[in-house]
Structure formats: structure tokens, C-alpha cells
A and B are shown apart, each in its own frame.
Chain A
Amino acid sequence: MKKKSAKGKQERRTKSLGLDLFQMDALQEIGNIAGAHVATTLSGIIGEMILVDFSESNAIFVENLPTSIGSPTDEVLAVYMKVCKDSKRKDNGMIFLVFPHEKALRISELFQKKPPESLKYLHEEDHAAIIEIGNICICSYLNALSKFLDSVFVPTPPAIASGMLGAILQLPASLAAEHSTYAIVINTKFIRGKDKVYGFLMFIPDLEMQKALLVRFGVDPEMKVRS
């Protein structure tokens, strides 16, 4: 019953933005496909089994984006890369890999083979480790995307931020606000054992990328959206 209600809510929201649920489901699939690649890559890096909990796609008003995956005051670490197609260097989207601060400490320990629970704070070398992990994971996501769309997508050098989730996600909100009133967000949540939130990967494709994905899925790309 609760699920039906949530679905109804999503339907109302997407319809209000002129989107089709079928189109949204198709976009969500890329989260499942590419997110699974990231989970495998991350598992290999840290030697722990990481799984995809769920992927979802949503049309979110840009001003609501900073609160879309958690409380604005949650302490997190985020790695950001822009997505560019081929050598044209034209932006085709944004990708954020987000780890809760506590998980980032444990990941950094595993990556650098430090004793468990030995890190209380993230130092410069830990930030470097998380950047490297983010770089590898995001490239894994883009590899899946490149294969799926038969194109080459390359990322810009990674940038890292540490702090409140709401403050960090104001960047994609502002960048998206330059071109649209809302953003299509394909979000993949990762879990490990009992850790219900191990991390998030947030992919925000631009309109051109959305259309390419829909065509590949055999879905009508004519988005009746207010761009």
C-alpha cells in the first residue's frame, strides 16, 4: 500500500514536469546496469562485498536537489566529475560519488591497509585515497555507459568535497539551474552487510544524454519536458 502511494506520488510529480513514467523507468535502468559495475569495482578495491540496494530516477526541482538523498546536515565526502563525450569536451552530465563520513573513514582504512577503526579524522592522504577510489568507480560507471551507448565518455579530473551533504549538493543544483528548472537524477544506493547506507552514486545526465539513453532503450526520446 505504501509502495503504491509512493508510486502515485512519483507519477504526480513526473506528470507535473511533463515526463512519462516509462521514460523514467528506462533511465533508472542505467543506474542498475552501471551501478552494478561500480559495486563490483568497489568490492574489488576494498575487498568487501558491496551491493546495489536500489537505483531510482527522479525529476527533481533544482532547489530540492540538495535534500534529495538525505538530511542536509549529514556529514559526507563526495567526489565529483563532469562527463564529456568523446573529445568534444562538451559537458554531458555530472557524477557524484558520496560516502557518509564514517564510511569514508573505513574505506580509507581498507584501501590503505590501515588497522580497522584506526582513523578518527580524514587527513590529506585519506582524501587522496578517496579521490582515487572515486576516480576508479566513476570511470567504471562511465565505461558501462560508453559500452551501452557505443560512445566514449570521458571524465574531467576528480574534485573532492567534505562537509554537509546539503552544502555539497548545492553545486549540482546551481549548475543545473543555469539550464533548467529541474534535474533528472539517476541515483544508485550501495550497501554492505548491515550497513544500510554505504554510499550513493548520483548521475545527472543532460538532455542530450537523456535522449541518447532513451533511444538505446527503445523508448520514445521526445521528452515533453520544460527544458
Chain B
Amino acid sequence: MKVEEMEELIVPAGKYYVVSNPIRLACIGLGSCLAITMHDPRKGLGGLAHTMLPTYSDGHDKENPGKYTDMAIYLMIDELIELGGHKSGLKAKIVGGAQMFQNPNTDFLDIGKRNIDSAIRTLENEGICLVSKHVGGSKGRNVWFDVCTGMIDLQMGRNAMISI
């Protein structure tokens, strides 16, 4: 199916979607949040999480675990396996985690970096292969994840679109 014809679904902040149909999952206006994609190339399954905080213990809301980087990864792995995927075959990519506000005294604002670190650590602990990442910086990103191919198209600030 051509990309232009594909249905697109925007994943809001704090949510994750796992799908088995040919669809593009998108995150629009990604700043300090992180987009984590997982793809099973053999089964054509995929998922995208739009997480806000690094770990489940960081946040107040315990009813929406998709807000948290570590928990969203665990849940996406479980749901991909339920749909017939194999954990050992999952390929992950991460995008986002920018530090939008620039000031020498605002290291505490770097939630983005903490999100990135949490994702890398959690994927490593789960034995999931992190095949690509486009993280950090001080500009927002728009992200489109093709569930069929596992490819991500992204645009950072006003830069040209790239694929990873």
C-alpha cells in the first residue's frame, strides 16, 4: 500500500497504540516527550507510545501507565506478543526527548533526557534491540511510523523530512 493511501492515527500524549493493520501512527508536536516505536518485521505488527515521564514512579496518575516510558515499553511488548509477535524479533526506535527551553540554570527541565535514558535502560533490560534513535536537541519533532515497514519519517523544526 502506498504511504499516501495509508490511514493515519495520531497518538496523543500519554497513550500507546499497538496495531496489526497497515496504518501510520503519528505524534505531532513532540517536545520533551518521547515516541517509542516497536516493530515485528516478520508479523507486520507495530506499536507507538507517546510518553511524558521517564518512570511509573515519577508520576501521580497510576491509571494511565502509557504516560510513562518504562511502563509503556512493558505494555507494548506484552500486547505485541498477544497479537502473535515474538519478543526476540522486536525492533525498537526512539524519537524526541528534546530540551525545548534553553538556559544554563534549567537542567531540572531536562525531562527529555531522562525520558531517553529511561527508554534505553528499559529496552536493554528487556532485551529489545534498539535499532535507531533521533533524540535530544532543542526543537520539536513530528513523527510518522509506518507499521508495515517499521520506518519512521520525521521532521525536526523546519528541517527537511528524514527517515530512520
Interfacial residues, chain A to chain B (CB-CB below 8 A): 62-63, 66-67, 72-73, 78, 80, 156-161, 163-171, 173-175, 177-181, 227
Complex CA gap A115/B112 in Å reads 38
Q: Is the CB of B13 within 8 A of A63?
A: yes
**Residue numbers in A under 8 Å from B102 (CB-CB):** 159-161
In the complex, which residue of chain B has the Cβ closest to the Cβ of A67? B29
Main secondary structure of the interface of B (DSSP, over half): loop
What mask results when residues 119 to 158 of chain B are scored 1 for a CB within 8 Å of chain A, else 0? Answer: 0000000000000000000111110000000000000010
Given A163-B138, A174-B111: 8 more A-B contacts, CB < 8 Å: A63-B14, A63-B15, A72-B29, A161-B102, A167-B100, A170-B30, A170-B31, A177-B60
Contact A157 B140 (CB under 8 A): no
Total cross-chain contacts (CB, 8 A) = 110
Give the chain B neighbours of A159 by CB distance below 8 A: 101-103, 105-106, 109
The answer to whether residues A63 and B67 also contact, given A72-B28, A160-B101, A167-B98 and a CB cut-off of 8 A, is: yes
Question: Could you say which of B52, B105, B139, B142 contacts A177, with CB atoms under 8 Å apart?
Answer: B52
A62 to chain B, nearest CB (A): 7
In the bound complex, CA of A78 to CA of B109 (Å): 14
Binding site for A on B (CB under 8 A): 12-15, 28-33, 52-53, 58-61, 63-64, 67, 98, 100-103, 105-106, 109, 111, 138-142, 157
Question: Shortest CB–CB separation between residue A33 and chain B, in angstroms?
Answer: 27
DSSP majority for the A interface?
A: mixed
A158 to B102, CA, bound (A): 9
Given A161-B102, A171-B100, A171-B111, A73 and B28 contact (CB-CB distance below 8 Å): yes
A179 touches B111 (CB 8 A): no
Q: Report yes or no: A73 in contact with B31, Cβ–Cβ below 8 A.
A: no
Contacts known (A72-B28, A73-B142, A168-B31); A161 close to B111, Cβ less than 8 A: no
The interface residues of chain A lying within 8 Å CB-to-CB of B67 are 63, 177
Other-chain contact of A173, B13, B60, B103, B138 (Cβ < 8 Å):
B13
In contact, A174 and B33 (Cβ under 8 angstroms)? yes
Minimum CB distance partner of A80 in chain B: B101
Q: How far is the CA of A73 from the CA of B60 in the complex (A)?
A: 28
**By the criterion CB–CB under 8 Å, are A174 and B52 in contact?**
yes
Check A175–B111 contact: CB distance below 8 A.
yes
Q: Given the known inter-chain contacts A63-B14, A168-B140, please indicate yes or no for A177 contacting B53, CB distance below 8 A.
A: yes
